[in-house]
Structure 1
Amino acid sequence: MKQPHVATVASLLALAAAATTAAAVTFDATNSASNTPGGQRFDQAVGLDYAKRVLSDASTFIWNTFNQPSPDDRKPVDKVTLVVEDIDGVAFTSANGIHLSAKYVGGYSGDVKKEVTGVLYHEVTHVWQWNGQGRANGGLIEGIADYVQLKAGYAPGSWVLPGQGRRWDQGYDVTARFLDYCDSLKPGFVAQLNAKMKDGYTDDFFAQILGKSVQQLWQDYKAA
């Protein structure tokens, strides 16, 4: 009779540890554009409470994707914020702050809640990913963020199909599809690549992990 009890206690301890880890980071969202059509649509279709939950869920998903079970493995971030603003574009991330365009939300035709969720998964990735001490190219950085969005199930139908694109580091959906291919060759590849990018960057990381140059991998991917 003691065995189930021990298992239950162990489960509770594991849950408590997970809760403590998540509680170490706080998530906040504000809407400074509530007086605009886009800001009002955000309030009605998305809402701040849901947005904060997405910031938290996305962070947990990213830690799992990057194989970072311990806070010691991650960037030292204790707060992630979102501000909905009356700005152009879609969204951008500066340090640990995400800025979402109310104009984009207002002009989007389709399931805006799902679209915003996907955008937030992309932007939260920028908060947590390593950038090679500034030496990794922008296409790879954006590709990793789109890769997370893809694996989370929020890739829009407008994305390129697997195998499309001109260069492996073209960025966004093109690079995300390529990274997905690389990860299929060795599950956990993206986690290993991100870990290596903590201290610097070289294209040779691909060969170090997969045994082939990034250009050869791109050729294999296109052929496949």
Structure 2
Amino acid sequence: MKKIYLSMALSAIVALISCGGHSATEKSSVEETPWDNYFVGEIDFKDLAPDTKGSEIYHHIIPDAPAYITKAARQVLSTLYYSPDDSIPGIKNIEYTLEDMPGVSAKDGCPPDIKIFYSTQHIERAFGANDTAKLDYETKGVLYHELTHAYQLEPQGIGTYSTNKTFWAFIEGMADAVRVANGCFGPEDRPKGGNYMDGYRTAGFFFVWIRDTKDPEFLKKFNRSTLEVVPWSFDAAIKHVLGDEYQIDQLWNEYQVAVGDIKA
């Protein structure tokens, strides 16, 4: 009975949400973007945990996973790049799996073949309050983060993700910056204090603040700086993108004052 009730409740909620979408007339008036027909890679969606509650919830909220993932991928690309003509890692295949395992999500592989898993256990936890909108917000945000890892550019001349903390902080900071920039982290999710070298949300909110206060194209330029600044460093990239008068540590201090974490 519980399973039937869950299915009926979810179906009703999804129906209500879809009622708030754009009408066919509104959609036809939306201008096409350069990304609308961009090939993001073949989406190979596999549910490896079909008997779990998390799987049931996922399929009710996201009835067409490949379309959902494709739309998110194009949003990530439009955040990181100016146009499809930019230097973008060529992705031919994205294997996306639902799996009954601890954790949240992770990306593996490198272009042209990417693998991403999403935990059905995490889906169940995120849906604990039966809040469909909250779960969609979380699922989309996690997807933005992992897809950023698929498409983002990487620092050169400083080692690798596992051997250099600057490399790591840039990669994880940019992934959460894309999530912040697309409204899937709110102000309440911003960690206080720390340092941009902490990566993830700490760096992500900082990068978006730079975009909002210094240069609206900062995320695109910062991503591309990995091709233009070799060996790459935060300070060299900041100077390359914003000008020689800027220093990363001074910007971090300005940001901390602006968000109220420290006093001027």
State the TM-score, normalizing by the size of structure 1: 0.81
Contact 1:147 1:180 in 2 (8 A): yes
Contact 1:115 1:154 in 2 (8 A): yes
Name 2:54's counterpart in structure 1: 38
Match of 1:6 in 2: none
Q: Report the counterpart of residue 92 of structure 1 in structure 2.
A: 106
| Equivalent residues, number | 206
Q: Does 1:132 align with 2:149?
A: no
Contact 1:145/1:172, CA 8 A, preserved across alignment: yes
Q: Work out which of the residue numbers 162, 178, 196 in structure 2 matches 1:168.
A: 196
Determine whether 1:142 maps to 2:160: no
82-91 or 199-208, which moves further after superposition?
199-208
| Secondary structure in 2 matching 1:82 | strand
In structure 2, the CA distance between the partners of 1:168 and 1:27, relative to structure 1 (3 Å rule), is same
The higher-RCO structure (CA 8 Å, 6+ apart) is: 1
1:103 aligns with 2:121: yes
In structure 2, do the counterparts of structure 1 residues 217 and 24 end up closer, same or farther at CA, with 3 Å as the change threshold? closer
Stretches of 4+ aligned residues off by more than 3 angstroms: 14-19
TM-score, length basis structure 2: 0.70
| In structure 1, distance between residues paired with 2:33 and 2:79 | 21
* In structure 1, C-alpha distance between the alignment counterparts of 2:33 and 2:204, rounded to whole Å: 34
Counterpart of 1:123 (choices 146, 167, 191) is 146
Q: CA deviation at 1:41?
A: 2.2
Counterpart position of 1:186? 215
Identify unmatched segments of 5+ residues in structure 1.
Answer: 1-13
CA distance in 1: counterparts of 2:59 and 2:95, whole angstroms: 17
Assess if the C-alpha contact under 8 Å between 2:104 and 2:122 holds in 1: yes
What's the CA shift for 1:180? 1.0
Give the Å deviation of 1:56. 1.3
Q: 1:37 to 1:157 in 2, by over 3 A?
A: farther
Counterpart of 1:112 (choices 117, 135, 144) is 135
